[in-house]
Amino acid sequence: MDDLDERALRRLSDDGQRLTEGRRRVLQALVDAGAPVTIPDILGLQPGLAQSSVYRNLAVLERAGLVSRIAMGDDHAHYELAEDITDHHHHHLVCEACGKVSDVTLPDSTERALDRALDEAASVEGFALSRHRLDLIGRCRDCVSV
């Protein structure tokens, strides 16, 4: 986590931003959660933070490339540490019953084949591909039985 602090500091100062206590605590909440979480989750994990500051700091952290925002349909957005920081490319399992989001990894061979296909499809459309998002939607282990 000191490693993360160091990287966070560098990323933020590259972006002309400071690593404040509030920002450190937001990052810590994301580390502790170990999965994409909502703002209420973050406030629960690090009590005492002001909601508006968490929103503002997540925006700062996202601009600095430290955090990714995952837009789910209706309710709260989810946030997690950016892949850039975790060095862990992954996709998301989204439970349509309880709304929980968790990470999932695909075999490297699948990722490579997928990347190739996406590059090809994008170039045919004259589209400059910068990233992709793959969500698996269904029922999580806790909700299948219900």
Partner DNA sequence: ATTTATGCAAATCGTTTGCAAACCT
Partner DNA sequence: AGGTTTGCAAACGATTTGCATAAAT
Judged by the rule CB under 8 A, the positions of this chain that interact with a copy of itself are: 69, 71-74, 77, 93, 95-96, 102, 104-107, 110, 113-114, 117-118, 121-122, 125-141, 144
Tokens 């090809």 label which residue?
120
Please give the C-alpha separations between residue 125 and each of 113, 115, 128, in angstroms, as whole numbers.
Answer: 19, 15, 9
Q: Are 10 and 18 in contact (CB under 8 A)?
A: no
Query: Strand, coil or helix: what is 94?
Result: strand
Q: Are 31 and 1 in contact (CB under 8 A)?
A: yes
Question: Could you tell which of DNA, a copy of itself, none binds residue 130, using a CB distance below 5 to 8 A set by kind?
Answer: a copy of itself
Residue closer to DNA by CB (options 60, 67) is: 60
From the CB of 77, what's the least distance to a copy of itself, in Å?
7
Residue closer to a copy of itself by CB (options 49, 101) is: 101
Question: Could you tell which of DNA, a copy of itself, none binds residue 21, using a CB distance below 5 to 8 A set by kind?
Answer: DNA
Tokens 């075999």 label which residue?
107
Please give the C-alpha separations between residue 70 and each of 25, 75, 119, in angstroms, as whole numbers.
Answer: 20, 12, 22
Could you say whether residue 23 binds DNA (CB under 7 A)? yes
Question: Could you tell which of DNA, a copy of itself, none binds residue 47, using a CB distance below 5 to 8 A set by kind?
Answer: none
Could you say whether residue 22 binds DNA (CB under 7 A)? yes
